[in-house]
Chain A
Amino acid sequence: MAVVEVRRLTKRFGRVTAVDELSFDVEPGRVTGFLGPNGAGKTTTLRIMLGLVRPTEGSALIGGVAYRDLRHPARVVGAVLEASGFHPSRSARDHLGVVATTAGISRKRVDEVLAMVGLSDVAGRAVGGFSLGMRQRLELATALLGDPELLVLDEPANGLDPQGISWLRGLLRWLSSQGRAVLVSSHLLAEAAQTVDDVVIVAGGRLAASGPLAELTGRVVGSVRIRTPEAQRLQGVLAGAGITAHYESHDVLVADGATPEVVGPLVAAQGVVVYEMTSSGGSLEDVFLALTASGPGASGPGASGPGASGPGASAVPGGGSEMVR
């Protein structure tokens, strides 16, 4: 059963529609990536889910009830949000003590979570002097206080150094392996792809796609780019194998829908000279670009991420049941 059920969720701030009829589920025991460019409506959706923002229409239920109706919210949901803060003169331990007292959680748990995020040594220091990374760890500790079955994290990698990010990745995997549901938002698709099992992709407040990561990336067929002095001959060779290739420049061919595993043996067999061969496609970014480029309503601002390019950006096979527009 889904831990989170978002149904036709809509939020308008005045004339801005931040979230537009968004629906998706979050399953236990999996890390779900909530992905999309800046301004896609991720933060708004998460804040609605957590009872901080009122939806204009639709609902976001946790275990079948609205957040506001949870009896012990801290024991059900742990959240790390972007704009939440700390009182600068309060120590890390006191901050957690305050939250624990509010939630009716024993103070013993405070030291446990401090150890879990590696802040035991600085627990007595005022948070005002903490680095961004230390604050993120403290946020995580706060989220873990109630030993919740669902974790909601909004861009948790922001402010973390590479070690911090890999530590976070491990923590999220470990939490989900215990059967918890983890919902983590990010605007960095490539970064998120390394951590998540499922993805929910939004653009312009609308659902672009959702489903298991492997299934989505599998849907996008890649291409192979070959630099060769024998472009014309290679084009003929590829055509003989049923692969269409077009010129990118006079000595570069792009074979759509091909993989290096197919092209490599062909050039070897025919003795075609190849200077360079690279494959692209099949990444989460390609999925995202393909999805947002294909629908008129779905193109969000900043949809062109790094590594975009790709003329005629990859094919999106039809028939994906979860595809929207």
Chain B
Amino acid sequence: MTRLVRAELLKLRTTKVTWVLLAVGAVTAGLLAALVVVRSSTAAQQAGLPLVGSVAWRRLVLGLSGVTEYFALVAGILCVAGEYRHGTITSTFLVEPRRGRVIAAKLGASGLAGAVFAIAAMVVVISVAAGTSAAERAATGNVVPALPAVAPGLILATALYGVYGAGLGALLRNQVLAVVIALSFSLIGESIVTDLLPQVGKWLPDAAAASFSSSSQAGQIQGSAHMLVWWAGGLVLLAYGISAALVGVMTAVRSDVT
């Protein structure tokens, strides 16, 4: 099994799109951080942002790294669906005909990739926050103290997004379809459901992730009662990934590769 996970990690490393997703995710997080830092220093109160340099502010800024969750989601989808897209699934299944194990390895590798995405985004956000605030005014932009509170949840959430993506990829197997469905649901569909039915909304992937990752801090500050406790949120997100993958495996194992 470790052999298969290592092979999946090698596939991710030797694919250009992985690095593009990693970089774009981290840069997006960095841009968001720069925006917030600049806005905080000029119009903090009007923007409804916590006081610059406060504990809440640091968590908010560092938590912006969480945007890379969506990039980890896409990387996870491509890890499975990309193989069908390029026909490499044939040689993968030739070498490991136990397809369930292949998909399991992909879930694991996508989770690890997600963790790396989160770490990269945080590194960029920390540097950008320091750099931007140094340009603005001294010493307040150090968000490193927020790491113990933010990092574990954020890394876990991004990792689980990777797993969830791989599960979706196994289920849908068409990479364009899977990316479009996953992103449009995560970015648009979920907030619509949450607005209409908050009781249902909290069980959805994004809200589940929010319950223990950074954005949660902001959420809880805003006093949202419609949120799962962090561990339940983690389990819910993991369940999405695994159940998508299970259905995917059941169909993938049965289906002909022609």
**A interface, CB within 8 angstroms of B:** 43-44, 47, 50-54, 67-68, 70, 73-74, 77, 79, 81, 83-91, 94, 97-99, 101-104, 142
Contact = CB atoms under 8 A, between A and B. Distances in A.
B258 to A, nearest CB: 6
Contact of A54 (B6, B15, B256): B256
A94 B15 CA distance: 10
A83 B10 CA distance: 23
Interface string B1-42: 001101100110011110000000000000000000000000
Given A86-B86, A99-B91, A142-B91, A73 B14 contact: no
Contact of B87 (A53, A84, A142): A84
Contacts of B136: none
Contacts of B82: 87
18 contacts: A47-B257, A47-B258, A52-B90, A54-B256, A73-B94, A83-B90, A84-B87, A84-B88, A84-B90, A84-B94, A85-B86, A87-B14, A90-B15, A101-B6, A101-B10, A102-B95, A103-B95, A142-B91
A85 B87 CA distance: 4
Interface in B76-101: 82, 86-88, 90-98
Contact of A85 (B3, B4, B6, B90): B90
Interface in B99-150: none
Interface of B: 3-4, 6-7, 10-11, 14-17, 82, 86-88, 90-98, 254, 256-258
- Interface residue SS majority, chain B: helix
A51 to B, nearest CB: 5
Given A68-B97, A86-B86, A101 B3 contact: yes
Contacts of A94: 10, 14
Contacts of B94: 50-52, 73-74, 77, 79, 84
A90 B88 CA distance: 11
Nearest to B13: A94
Contacts of B257: 47, 52-53
A98 B11 contact: yes
A88 to B, nearest CB: 7
Contacts, number: 87
Contacts of A53: 256-258
Contacts of B6: 101
A51 B97 contact: yes
A103 B90 CA distance: 14
Nearest to B18: A89
A91 B258 CA distance: 24
B93 A51 contact: yes
A94 B7 CA distance: 11
Given A86-B88, A104-B3, A99 B95 contact: yes
Contacts of B7: 98, 101-102
A97 B86 CA distance: 17
A81 B94 CA distance: 10
A83 B91 contact: no
A53 B90 CA distance: 11
CB-based closest 8 A-B pairs: A85-B87, A84-B90, A89-B16, A94-B14, A101-B7, A102-B7, A53-B256, A52-B257
A76 to B, nearest CB: 11
Contacts of A101: 3, 6-7, 10
B97 A84 contact: no
Given A47-B258, A51-B93, A52-B256, A102 B88 contact: no
B88 A91 contact: no
Given A84-B90, A90-B15, 15 more contacts: A44-B258, A47-B257, A51-B93, A52-B258, A53-B256, A68-B98, A70-B97, A73-B96, A74-B94, A94-B14, A98-B7, A98-B14, A102-B7, A102-B92, A102-B95
Contacts of B17: 89
Contacts of A79: 94
Nearest to B254: A54
A87 B15 contact: yes
Given A86-B86, A86-B88, A97-B14, A47 B256 contact: yes
B95 A74 contact: yes
A82 B146 CA distance: 54
B80 to A, nearest CB: 13
Contacts of B4: 102
